Chain A
């Protein structure tokens, strides 16, 4: 079975400051890794995903995440956040084999203060 741990339930930061949202996973098999974002009053949206190849993946709005197999981590980072980044962020994994059901962490609420 797979499990995902997001180490911080809430992260408050000031606008234009850097941020890191931590994610660790546990799995006995190879997995794909995802970050989903949920803006207020909206559904979950895919932010970025790691499938294979380069361990650093980027989103269109400046976030990036690095897959670290030895540390079983997939931390999300942004060098300078904006008010519009206020949202809840979920890390998730799915197995290589079988149906693509996602196993999610409990989420990290990112709050940007002006």
Chain B
């Protein structure tokens, strides 16, 4: 009964580097969400997958952000040419259904990204 896991838990990058953040959802969960949480703020939606299909990427802040979920399970959020404003905690959440409005989202512990 493992929950949502994320790796790495902490990542320090130099400005301009590319980073990849991994999310392992709860097994069998169809829906997967990525959120960005800046210091002192609430999480903000980035993107949503239903199985392997990325159905909503309206929250991605720029074209430097890219997410994928090729086999409908593990997801990777990639940030190219990182900038200081990308420093935040990146949260992954999964839910069992097809983004059913009453499904609970289960959150991982997050990856704290610091860009120097």
Contact = CB atoms under 8 A, between A and B. Distances in A.
Interface of A: 4, 6, 9, 32, 36, 42-46, 49, 51, 90, 92, 94-96, 98-107
B55 interface: yes
A100 B105 contact: yes
Interface of B is mostly: loop
B102 A107 contact: no
Nearest to A94: B101
Contacts of B103: 100
B108 A43 contact: yes
Contacts, number: 66
Contact of A99 (B4, B44, B55, B108): B55
Interface of B: 3-4, 31, 33, 35, 40-45, 48, 50, 55-56, 59, 91, 93, 95, 99-105, 107-110
Question: 3 tightest A-B contacts by CB?
Answer: A104-B42, A44-B107, A99-B99
Given A43-B109, A45-B107, A51-B102, A102 B43 contact: yes
Given A100-B31, A102-B105, A90 B56 contact: no
B110 A101 contact: no
Given A44-B91, A44-B107, A104 B101 contact: no
A42 B55 CA distance: 28
14 contacts: A6-B42, A32-B101, A43-B108, A43-B109, A90-B42, A99-B50, A99-B55, A100-B95, A102-B33, A102-B43, A104-B43, A104-B44, A106-B40, A107-B40
Contacts of A96: 101
A48 B54 CA distance: 28
B42 A101 contact: no
